Structure 1
Amino acid sequence: MNDVPKLFGSLVFNESVMKDRLPTATYKAYKAAVLAGTPLNLEIANIIANAMKDWALEHGCTHFTHWFQPMTGITAEKHESFISPTAEGRVIMDFSGKELIQGEPDASSFPSGGLRATFEARGYTAWDPTSYAFIKDNCLCIPTAFCSYTGEVLDKKTPLLRSMNAASKAACKLLKLFGIDTIRVNSTVGPEQEYFLVDKKMWEKRKDLVYTGRTLFGAKSPRGQELDDHYFGIIKQRVLSFMKDLDDELWKLGVLAKTEHNEVAPAQHELAPIFTTTNVASDHNQLMMEFMKRVALRHGLVCLLHEKPFDGVNGSGKHNNWSLSTEEGLNLLDPGKEPYKNLRFLTFLAAIIKAVDEYQDLLRVSVASAGNDHRLGANEAPPAIVSMFLGTELTAVLEAIAADKVYNGNPESYIKVSDDTIPALVKDNTDRNRTSPFAFTGNKFEFRMLGSMFSIAGPNIVLNTIVAEELDEFADKLADAPDLEAAVYDLVKETYKAHKRIVFNGNGYTDEWVEEAAKRGLLNLKSTPEALPYLGHAKNIELFEKHNIFTKAEVESRVEILLENYSTTISIEAATMLDMFHKDILPAVTAYTEDLTKAVLDKKAAGVSAGFEGALADKLSKLGGEMYASSLKLEDGLKEAAEIGDSEKQALYYHDTVLEEMGKLRSAVDAAEALTGGKYLDYPTYGELLFGVNE
Structure 2
Amino acid sequence: MFLGDQLADVFEQIERAGTATESKQGGLLGLGSPVLPHLPQHAGDRNRTSPFAFTGNKFEFRAPGSSQSVSFAATVLNTIMAESLDELNTLLDAELAKGTSFEDALRTLIASEIRKVKRIIFNGDGYSDEWKDEAARRGLLNLPNTLDALELLPGDKNLALFEKYGVLSHRELESRHEVALDQYFKTVNIEGETTADIASTMILPAAVRYLNDLVAAADRTRTLGVETRGLTRTVKIVNELVDELRDALDALVEQNAELGGETVHSKAYHVRDNVVPAMSLVRGAADRLEKVVPDDYWPLPTYRDMLFVK
Letter of the structure 1 residue corresponding to residue 302 of structure 2: Y
Q: 1:436 aligns with which of 50, 53, 72?
A: 50
Q: Is the 8 Å Cα contact of residues 181 and 265 (structure 2) preserved in structure 1?
A: yes
- The equivalent of 2:74 in structure 1 is 460
- The equivalent of 2:280 in structure 1 is 663
Letter of the structure 2 residue corresponding to residue 573 of structure 1: E
The TM-score with structure 2 as length reference comes to: 0.84
Matched, 1:674 2:288: no
- The equivalent of 1:589 in structure 2 is 207
> For the residues of structure 2 that align with 1:474 and 1:468, how far apart are their CA atoms?
10
Deviation at 1:613, TM superposition (A): 3.2
Letter of the structure 2 residue corresponding to residue 606 of structure 1: L
Matched residue count: 305
Q: Is the 8 Å Cα contact of residues 391 and 440 (structure 1) preserved in structure 2?
A: yes
Residues 566/416 of structure 1: CA separation in 2 closer, same or farther (3 Å cut): closer
Q: 1:541 aligns with which of 137, 155, 159?
A: 159
Q: Within 5 Å, which residues of 2 pair with 1:43-442?
A: 388-404=1-17, 407-410=20-23, 414-415=27-28, 417=30, 421-423=35-37, 425-442=39-56
- The equivalent of 1:605 in structure 2 is 223
Deviation at 1:688, TM superposition (A): 9.1
Q: Is the 8 Å Cα contact of residues 541 and 552 (structure 1) preserved in structure 2?
A: yes
Deviation at 1:535, TM superposition (A): 1.0
Structure 2 gap segments, 5+ residues each: none
Q: 1:624 aligns with which of 211, 232, 242?
A: 242
> For the residues of structure 2 that align with 1:547 and 1:501, how far apart are their CA atoms?
26
Q: Is the 8 Å Cα contact of residues 529 and 648 (structure 1) preserved in structure 2?
A: no
> For the residues of structure 2 that align with 1:499 and 1:570, how far apart are their CA atoms?
35
User: What SS is found at the alignment partner of 1:675?
Assistant: coil
Letter of the structure 2 residue corresponding to residue 618 of structure 1: K
Deviation at 1:516, TM superposition (A): 1.2
> For the residues of structure 2 that align with 1:436 and 1:549, how far apart are their CA atoms?
27
Q: Is the 8 Å Cα contact of residues 414 and 424 (structure 1) preserved in structure 2?
A: no
> For the residues of structure 2 that align with 1:563 and 1:644, how far apart are their CA atoms?
14
User: What SS is found at the alignment partner of 1:453?
Assistant: coil
Deviation at 1:446, TM superposition (A): 1.6
Matched, 1:644 2:261: yes
The TM-score with structure 1 as length reference comes to: 0.40
Residues 470/590 of structure 1: CA separation in 2 closer, same or farther (3 Å cut): same
Structure with bigger strand share is: 1
Q: Is the 8 Å Cα contact of residues 412 and 426 (structure 1) preserved in structure 2?
A: no
Residues 669/406 of structure 1: CA separation in 2 closer, same or farther (3 Å cut): closer
Q: Is the 8 Å Cα contact of residues 6 and 24 (structure 2) preserved in structure 1?
A: no
> For the residues of structure 1 that align with 2:17 and 2:304, how far apart are their CA atoms?
61
Q: 1:685 aligns with which of 277, 282, 301?
A: 301
| Sequence identity (%) | 37
Letter of the structure 2 residue corresponding to residue 686 of structure 1: T
Letter of the structure 2 residue corresponding to residue 433 of structure 1: N
Q: Is the 8 Å Cα contact of residues 29 and 40 (structure 2) preserved in structure 1?
A: no
Q: Is the 8 Å Cα contact of residues 28 and 41 (structure 2) preserved in structure 1?
A: yes
Structure with bigger helix share is: 2
